[in-house]
Amino acid sequence: MLIDSHVNLHAPQFADDQGAVIERAREAGVQLMLTICDKVSSFEAVHAIAMAHDDIWATVGTHPHEAKENPSLEAKTLKALAARPKVVGIGECGLDFHYDLSPRAVQIEVFRQHIAAARDSALPLVVHTREADEVMGDILEDEYAKGPFKLLMHCYTSGPDLARRAAALGAWFSVSGIATFKAAEEVRAVIREMPEDRIIVETDCPYLAPVPFRGRRNEPAYITHILGKLAEVRGWTLAEAEARTTTAFFDLFHTIPLPAELA
Protein backbone atom coordinates (compact mmCIF):
# COMPACT_ATOMS: atom_id res chain seq x y z
CA MET A 1 0.00 0.00 0.00
CA LEU A 2 1.05 3.60 -0.54
CA ILE A 3 1.85 5.41 2.71
CA ASP A 4 3.01 8.99 3.23
CA SER A 5 4.80 8.83 6.56
CA HIS A 6 5.25 12.58 7.07
CA VAL A 7 2.70 15.23 6.09
CA ASN A 8 2.02 18.63 7.63
CA LEU A 9 -1.67 18.97 6.83
CA HIS A 10 -2.24 21.68 9.45
CA ALA A 11 0.25 23.98 7.68
CA PRO A 12 -1.12 27.34 6.51
CA GLN A 13 -0.29 26.38 2.92
CA PHE A 14 -3.25 23.96 3.10
CA ALA A 15 -5.68 26.30 4.83
CA ASP A 16 -7.82 26.89 1.74
CA ASP A 17 -7.98 23.38 0.29
CA GLN A 18 -6.95 20.83 2.91
CA GLY A 19 -9.90 18.59 2.07
CA ALA A 20 -9.12 18.65 -1.64
CA VAL A 21 -5.45 17.82 -0.93
CA ILE A 22 -6.50 14.80 1.12
CA GLU A 23 -8.89 13.66 -1.58
CA ARG A 24 -6.24 13.99 -4.30
CA ALA A 25 -3.94 11.82 -2.21
CA ARG A 26 -6.58 9.13 -2.00
CA GLU A 27 -7.22 9.33 -5.73
CA ALA A 28 -3.48 8.83 -6.28
CA GLY A 29 -3.64 5.62 -4.24
CA VAL A 30 -2.34 6.89 -0.90
CA GLN A 31 -4.04 4.73 1.70
CA LEU A 32 -2.51 6.09 4.89
CA MET A 33 -0.97 9.39 6.00
CA LEU A 34 0.81 10.42 9.19
CA THR A 35 0.30 14.10 9.98
CA ILE A 36 3.09 15.57 12.07
CA CYS A 37 3.01 17.93 15.05
CA ASP A 38 5.54 20.78 14.80
CA LYS A 39 4.91 22.28 18.24
CA VAL A 40 2.78 21.41 21.24
CA SER A 41 0.62 24.50 20.71
CA SER A 42 -0.36 23.07 17.30
CA PHE A 43 -1.25 19.64 18.67
CA GLU A 44 -5.00 20.17 18.91
CA ALA A 45 -5.18 21.18 15.24
CA VAL A 46 -3.00 18.24 14.20
CA HIS A 47 -4.93 15.77 16.31
CA ALA A 48 -8.27 17.02 15.00
CA ILE A 49 -7.22 16.17 11.44
CA ALA A 50 -6.37 12.61 12.44
CA MET A 51 -9.61 12.21 14.34
CA ALA A 52 -11.63 13.39 11.34
CA HIS A 53 -10.18 10.83 8.90
CA ASP A 54 -9.90 7.06 9.23
CA ASP A 55 -6.77 6.98 7.07
CA ILE A 56 -4.80 9.70 8.90
CA TRP A 57 -2.82 9.29 12.15
CA ALA A 58 -0.84 11.84 14.18
CA THR A 59 2.21 12.53 16.31
CA VAL A 60 2.92 14.97 19.14
CA GLY A 61 6.11 16.97 19.50
CA THR A 62 8.06 20.17 18.98
CA HIS A 63 10.36 20.82 16.02
CA PRO A 64 13.79 22.22 16.98
CA HIS A 65 12.87 25.50 15.29
CA GLU A 66 10.03 25.81 17.80
CA ALA A 67 11.85 24.56 20.91
CA LYS A 68 12.03 28.12 22.22
CA GLU A 69 8.23 28.14 22.48
CA ASN A 70 8.42 25.99 25.60
CA PRO A 71 12.01 25.54 26.79
CA SER A 72 10.74 23.84 29.95
CA LEU A 73 8.74 21.22 28.06
CA GLU A 74 8.67 17.95 30.01
CA ALA A 75 8.38 14.37 28.89
CA LYS A 76 5.28 13.89 31.02
CA THR A 77 3.42 16.54 29.00
CA LEU A 78 4.29 14.77 25.76
CA LYS A 79 3.32 11.38 27.21
CA ALA A 80 -0.06 12.67 28.34
CA LEU A 81 -0.84 14.00 24.86
CA ALA A 82 0.51 10.83 23.26
CA ALA A 83 -2.09 8.84 25.20
CA ARG A 84 -4.84 10.39 23.04
CA PRO A 85 -6.48 8.19 20.37
CA LYS A 86 -4.63 7.92 17.03
CA VAL A 87 -1.36 9.42 18.33
CA VAL A 88 1.33 6.98 17.20
CA GLY A 89 4.67 8.79 17.54
CA ILE A 90 6.71 11.41 19.40
CA GLY A 91 8.00 14.33 17.34
CA GLU A 92 8.97 15.86 15.05
CA CYS A 93 11.86 16.80 17.30
CA GLY A 94 15.64 17.02 17.14
CA LEU A 95 18.40 19.49 16.31
CA ASP A 96 18.75 22.11 13.58
CA PHE A 97 22.06 23.96 13.72
CA HIS A 98 21.62 25.40 10.22
CA TYR A 99 18.99 28.01 11.07
CA ASP A 100 19.41 28.06 14.88
CA LEU A 101 15.89 29.43 15.26
CA SER A 102 15.99 28.21 18.86
CA PRO A 103 19.11 28.36 21.06
CA ARG A 104 21.14 25.18 20.76
CA ALA A 105 21.07 24.46 24.49
CA VAL A 106 17.28 24.70 24.43
CA GLN A 107 17.06 22.45 21.37
CA ILE A 108 19.16 19.83 23.12
CA GLU A 109 17.19 19.86 26.37
CA VAL A 110 13.82 19.76 24.62
CA PHE A 111 15.07 16.95 22.38
CA ARG A 112 16.13 14.88 25.39
CA GLN A 113 12.64 15.29 26.86
CA HIS A 114 11.18 13.91 23.64
CA ILE A 115 13.51 10.93 23.82
CA ALA A 116 12.40 10.26 27.40
CA ALA A 117 8.77 10.42 26.29
CA ALA A 118 9.43 8.00 23.44
CA ARG A 119 11.25 5.60 25.73
CA ASP A 120 8.54 5.68 28.40
CA SER A 121 5.60 5.48 26.00
CA ALA A 122 7.23 2.90 23.69
CA LEU A 123 6.21 5.09 20.73
CA PRO A 124 8.71 5.80 17.93
CA LEU A 125 10.68 9.06 17.92
CA VAL A 126 10.53 11.15 14.72
CA VAL A 127 13.92 12.89 14.46
CA HIS A 128 14.85 16.00 12.49
CA THR A 129 18.57 16.69 12.19
CA ARG A 130 20.44 19.28 10.16
CA GLU A 131 24.11 20.24 10.42
CA ALA A 132 24.31 18.64 13.86
CA ASP A 133 25.66 15.20 13.00
CA GLU A 134 28.20 14.77 15.78
CA VAL A 135 26.02 16.19 18.56
CA MET A 136 23.01 14.22 17.32
CA GLY A 137 24.96 10.97 17.26
CA ASP A 138 26.33 11.59 20.74
CA ILE A 139 22.89 12.33 22.19
CA LEU A 140 21.24 9.33 20.55
CA GLU A 141 23.95 6.96 21.78
CA ASP A 142 23.94 8.48 25.28
CA GLU A 143 20.16 8.26 25.59
CA TYR A 144 19.95 4.78 24.07
CA ALA A 145 22.39 3.56 26.70
CA LYS A 146 19.84 4.63 29.33
CA GLY A 147 17.20 2.45 27.71
CA PRO A 148 16.24 1.56 24.14
CA PHE A 149 13.68 3.42 22.05
CA LYS A 150 12.50 3.25 18.46
CA LEU A 151 13.63 6.11 16.22
CA LEU A 152 13.08 7.37 12.72
CA MET A 153 15.63 9.63 11.03
CA HIS A 154 13.08 11.61 9.05
CA CYS A 155 13.88 13.12 5.64
CA TYR A 156 17.47 11.96 6.07
CA THR A 157 19.99 14.21 4.32
CA SER A 158 22.84 14.11 6.84
CA GLY A 159 26.14 12.33 6.37
CA PRO A 160 27.05 8.65 6.19
CA ASP A 161 28.72 8.60 9.62
CA LEU A 162 25.58 9.66 11.47
CA ALA A 163 23.57 7.25 9.33
CA ARG A 164 25.81 4.38 10.44
CA ARG A 165 25.62 5.44 14.10
CA ALA A 166 21.83 5.67 13.96
CA ALA A 167 21.50 2.38 12.07
CA ALA A 168 23.55 0.68 14.79
CA LEU A 169 20.84 1.78 17.23
CA GLY A 170 18.19 0.18 15.03
CA ALA A 171 16.98 3.40 13.42
CA TRP A 172 14.56 3.57 10.52
CA PHE A 173 15.14 6.15 7.76
CA SER A 174 12.67 8.03 5.58
CA VAL A 175 13.36 9.15 2.04
CA SER A 176 11.86 12.42 0.77
CA GLY A 177 11.61 14.33 -2.51
CA ILE A 178 15.18 15.52 -2.04
CA ALA A 179 16.26 12.13 -3.40
CA THR A 180 14.88 13.19 -6.79
CA PHE A 181 16.90 16.42 -7.00
CA LYS A 182 19.63 16.41 -9.63
CA ALA A 183 22.32 17.68 -7.21
CA ALA A 184 21.46 15.22 -4.43
CA GLU A 185 23.87 12.41 -5.34
CA GLU A 186 25.36 12.42 -1.82
CA VAL A 187 21.88 11.84 -0.42
CA ARG A 188 21.31 8.99 -2.87
CA ALA A 189 24.66 7.46 -1.89
CA VAL A 190 23.51 7.26 1.73
CA ILE A 191 20.15 5.81 0.65
CA ARG A 192 22.01 2.96 -1.06
CA GLU A 193 23.53 2.01 2.31
CA MET A 194 20.41 2.28 4.47
CA PRO A 195 19.14 -0.94 6.11
CA GLU A 196 16.84 -2.40 3.47
CA ASP A 197 14.18 -3.43 6.01
CA ARG A 198 14.06 -0.02 7.73
CA ILE A 199 13.35 2.45 4.90
CA ILE A 200 10.08 4.34 4.48
CA VAL A 201 8.99 7.25 2.26
CA GLU A 202 7.50 10.69 2.92
CA THR A 203 6.63 13.91 1.16
CA ASP A 204 7.13 16.31 4.12
CA CYS A 205 4.44 18.32 2.33
CA PRO A 206 3.94 21.20 1.76
CA TYR A 207 7.76 21.33 1.53
CA LEU A 208 10.32 19.60 -0.70
CA ALA A 209 8.19 18.70 -3.70
CA PRO A 210 9.88 16.02 -5.79
CA VAL A 211 10.85 16.35 -9.42
CA PRO A 212 8.84 17.06 -11.63
CA PHE A 213 6.98 19.32 -9.17
CA ARG A 214 10.03 20.93 -7.57
CA GLY A 215 9.38 24.55 -6.63
CA ARG A 216 5.65 23.98 -6.20
CA ARG A 217 3.68 23.22 -3.06
CA ASN A 218 4.16 19.57 -2.21
CA GLU A 219 1.22 17.21 -1.65
CA PRO A 220 0.82 13.61 -0.43
CA ALA A 221 -0.33 12.65 -3.93
CA TYR A 222 3.27 13.09 -5.10
CA ILE A 223 4.58 10.22 -2.93
CA THR A 224 4.62 7.93 -5.97
CA HIS A 225 7.51 9.94 -7.46
CA ILE A 226 9.56 9.46 -4.30
CA LEU A 227 8.82 5.76 -4.13
CA GLY A 228 9.86 5.43 -7.77
CA LYS A 229 13.18 7.15 -7.10
CA LEU A 230 13.81 4.94 -4.08
CA ALA A 231 13.19 1.87 -6.23
CA GLU A 232 15.62 3.18 -8.85
CA VAL A 233 18.35 3.99 -6.33
CA ARG A 234 18.09 0.65 -4.53
CA GLY A 235 17.62 -1.45 -7.67
CA TRP A 236 14.18 -2.62 -6.60
CA THR A 237 11.05 -2.98 -8.67
CA LEU A 238 8.32 -0.50 -7.85
CA ALA A 239 6.22 -3.28 -6.34
CA GLU A 240 9.15 -4.41 -4.21
CA ALA A 241 9.78 -0.86 -3.00
CA GLU A 242 6.13 -0.47 -2.06
CA ALA A 243 6.06 -3.79 -0.22
CA ARG A 244 9.31 -3.13 1.64
CA THR A 245 8.38 0.39 2.74
CA THR A 246 4.92 -0.72 3.81
CA THR A 247 6.31 -3.48 6.01
CA ALA A 248 8.92 -1.13 7.46
CA PHE A 249 6.28 1.50 8.23
CA PHE A 250 4.08 -0.86 10.23
CA ASP A 251 7.12 -2.33 11.99
CA LEU A 252 8.01 1.18 13.14
CA PHE A 253 4.57 2.62 13.87
CA HIS A 254 3.46 -0.57 15.55
CA THR A 255 0.35 0.85 17.25
CA ILE A 256 -1.40 1.47 13.92
CA PRO A 257 -3.60 -1.54 13.22
CA LEU A 258 -2.40 -3.62 10.31
CA PRO A 259 -4.93 -3.51 7.45
CA ALA A 260 -6.78 -6.77 6.87
CA GLU A 261 -5.17 -7.25 3.46
CA LEU A 262 -1.72 -7.20 5.09
CA ALA A 263 -2.51 -9.27 8.16
Report the domain count for the chain.
Answer: 1
Three-state DSSP at 254 gives coil
**pTM confidence score:** 0.97
- Asked if residue 259 is part of any domain, the answer here is no
Q: Which residues partner with 130 through β-bridges? A: 96
Q: What is the DSSP letter of 257?
A: P
- Asked if residue 261 is part of any domain, the answer here is no
DSSP string computed for 41-85 = GGHHHHHHHHHH-TTEEEEE---GGGGGG-TT--HHHHHHHHTST
- Asked if residue 41 is part of any domain, the answer here is yes
pLDDT for the residue 262: 84
Residues in the chain: 263
- Asked if residue 23 is part of any domain, the answer here is yes
pLDDT in tens, the chain (263 residues): 999 999 999 999 999 999 999 999 999 999 999 999 999 999 999 999 999 999 999 999 999 999 999 999 999 999 999 999 999 999 999 999 999 999 999 999 999 999 999 999 999 999 999 999 999 999 999 999 999 999 999 999 999 999 999 999 999 999 999 999 999 999 999 999 999 999 999 999 999 999 999 999 999 999 999 999 999 999 999 999 999 999 999 999 999 999 888 87
Range of the domain at 80: 2-253
Cα Rg of the chain (Å, integer):
17
Long-range (24+ apart) CB contacts under 8 A made by 244-248 are 244/196, 244/197, 244/199, 245/3, 245/199, 245/200, 245/201, 246/1, 246/3, 247/197, 248/172, 248/197, 248/198, 248/199, 248/200
pLDDT for the residue 263: 77
- Asked if residue 263 is part of any domain, the answer here is no
Sheet holding 2-7, edge to edge: 2-7, 30-35, 56-60, 87-96, 125-130, 151-153, 172-175, 199-201
- Asked if residue 21 is part of any domain, the answer here is yes
- Asked if residue 262 is part of any domain, the answer here is no
pLDDT for the residue 111: 98
pLDDT for the residue 261: 83
221: domain CATH number is 3.20.20.140
